[in-house]
Structure 1
Amino acid sequence: MTRETRKSERLRAGALPDPTGVENIVEQAGDLAVYISADGEVAGISVNPDCPSLGCLDHWVGRPFENFLTVESKDKFDRRVAKMQADPDVTPRALELNHVDNATWEFPIRYTLHRVYEGGGMLLLGRDMQPIAEVQQRLVAEQTARERDQQRLRGEQTFYHVVLEASETPLILVEPEKGRIRDLNSAAAVLLGTTPETLSGSSLAQAFDGRKREELIEAMRSAAGSREARGIDLVARRNERDLKLYPEFFRAAGELFILCRVRPVDGEAGDSIEVAQVMGALFAAASDAIVITDGKGVIRDANEAFLTIADAAQLRDVRDTNLADFLVRGAVDTKLMLETASKQGRLRAYATQIASVVGTRASVEASVTRLRDPSGDFGYGFILRNTALSEGADAEVTSVVSEEAMKNVMDLVGTASLKELVSATSDVIEKLCIETAVQLTGNNRVAAAEMLGLSRQSLYVKLRKHGLINATADE
């Protein structure tokens, strides 16, 4: 169908009354012109020939305009038409609508609405927004890709720092042009007598005695360029340790860097690494249960022996739980051990009982030591030795004492009333219990009162009653 034929059809439809004048003006005023009759049908349509992306839309004529709008655009168009009908004097603002055609084709048009008073129709002059929408989509895609790349970059940086810090080899990353330390791990900082934060970004020459920046960089270039592994003898400025620097060149993102391995001349670092490995093996294979906690008694690590005595299948079953959960006397014992170790640095041979996750109990002798981790926070190390083997002998002694005590009580029968016998026996048992609690807590009377379920004042009264304390010492 030619352009003249379409003009004739629109003319017969009554949309554009003057094909030689008004129609040309309408076509040039926008990319798309739609005349809608009073009943909401498309009475005429004109597409600017300079906008071929819209294609031929003559099939809209005679059909409801809303058939070619998306759901949200229908509501938007109906509200705007209702507002124009309610107030004829209002000047309508531009309206952006999304059209649908041929089921899948969707395109945005920005319309200006104009009343046609004769016949009650409406003329919509539209500007094609597809080019702008495509630019916006490309912009969103570029922004999404950029955020994805930044996230990937942050992940790579995290991996880099984790691997660098986990390395037992002291490493320093240097920018050769400026002679500046780009990065280093804690192992290298320890050899230099400071922290990574202090040295990062500073001049490498400032970390050593008797070395100028140009001289040191030249020596590093010469050593790195040599086919043999050549080290540079240096002396750390902060702790005066004799060190050896082994530099190697590498290139990243077009820039040249030097990776330096640092080794002590006296070999202390190698010895310390070997000792750390041996201590780790000892921790894992020790027959006594070993537990590492934070300052509040929360378990951070434990060896296999503790998992066995606690009937736990694996470390994650006990990690992040408080040690008090595995003690029969719970928080009383934990508080006493932590307070004593905090004040004195250590606690030796404290008798307590472990309650496993299935409810079984085992008598242990606990030794506690106050620890300090690399971050400066304090924790505690517990060594729990199972005393089940020596319980048999203790039981025999207890049995003998119990039989002797019972015999003494039986000898008193007939010399005193039953009430007096029971009262005397209760006093003996009470005294024994108080003495045991005081002994277990290392004469910590607050902890002993908690262990016995007494108030502090009641404990002092009973101590005086049984002659375990006098008024002068109390004061």
Structure 2
Amino acid sequence: MKSFATPRTSLGPLDADAAAGLIAAAADIALVLDEAGIIRDLAFSNAELAREFDGPESWLGRSWVETVAKDSRPKVEAMLAPDPAKEAVRWRHVNQLSARGASIPVLCSVAPLGQAGRSVVFGRDLRPLSQLQQRMVEVQQSMERDYSRLRQAETRYRLLFQMSMDPVLILDAEQQRIMEANPAAQRLFGRNARRMPGRTLNEVFEPEDRAAVQTLLANVRSAGRADDVTAHLAEGGEAVLVSASTFRQEGGLLFLVRLSVPNHQGADLPEAQSKLLKVVEVAPDGFVVTDASAHLLTANAAFLDMAQLTSEEQARGEPLDRWIGRQGVELEVLLSNLRNRGAVRLYATTLHGALGGQVEVEISAVSVMNGGQSCFGFQIRDIGARSRPAVRAAEGATRSVEQLTELIGRVPLKDLVREATDAIERLCIEAALELTGDNRASAAEMLGLSRQSLYVKLRRYGLGDLDDQQG
């Protein structure tokens, strides 16, 4: 230990109070011990630390060894043992016991006081350092858990990439060089597959198709999506449907390009999927697939039977609301929920046949993506054969309260609620028209509706003369 060279000159005369202040300032805990190791005085750097040890009164007159944990007593005894040859001050980790019996880590050093064998114990509270170390351990464990999850996710997506039936390429967005190609893409390019990484995407297609592919990538990069394009491979001239999307990795933008052969789509369906298509075709419930604007693409035999059609050609390309819904707005409600939620279950409505027939149906629908375009699938179940009385009112009319009361216990609650809502809505509209002297603008304002919404409801319930729509 290197001491002051001229302490008497540099420090000047120090009285006991000044020495006590220096000792207290130099440590979080300072103990003054006699030659027997008994605590004669002590100081804490702050009141909170003093409360942890129940104040100074509980330590005065006790041996320092008695105030530490059992595992620290040999260290304290070694520090207090007389050793004339000892020159350097050695810091030791000691666990001091608090008033509640908890161990508080303290880094201690003993220095002789120079009077009658007394010594001073300097202690530094290690809890902030311990808490910092604990936080570092927790952060490290959290990072390891996150890293493990990332590795698992990478493994899953790598497996999906490798097992995809469609040829997929990953491109660098800046130079459009192929970074990776999945096994399906390697099979598509055959003997030239090994030379794929490092090539630009333009080299893959014939010159006359490269502009369309570049436009596709530019639209995807700026707008996030674009319509698929058809291009021909430079080697072999085979036509493929090109679609693309973007994603970020390590701060860079990458393209995910999917190539599909139009002539092969659906030709090599697995046996299980082929059986599923056969089951859908002969299922007793109607099944319909439409495009994003609800125009029919295909339908099974059960739907054709409910719609009173003789062939699928009669329905293909027609809007679905030609058959579904009573008033032309129900299908719009169904489609709105379908676009927002992706799926709709058990939507009750009416199906109108081409020859005037009418069937009560429940519709479950789902939205899916096919070739980069959305389409809708509808399962339509005939519920008119169920043993329950018809609860729908004639078009443009509602039931009275007495009629609704008679139906309690004989029809489902949801049908009663729908009919009751219609009855209340019609009564409110009639009352508003009567109070305003048939002024529809005032009636709409009174009901909190727009004039157009009021006209729709007037048509629905057959109220008033709708030829003149001026309120």
Q: Over alpha carbons, which structure has the higher Rg?
A: 1
Q: TM-score, normalised by structure 1?
A: 0.45
Q: TM-score, normalised by structure 2?
A: 0.45
Greater helix content = 1
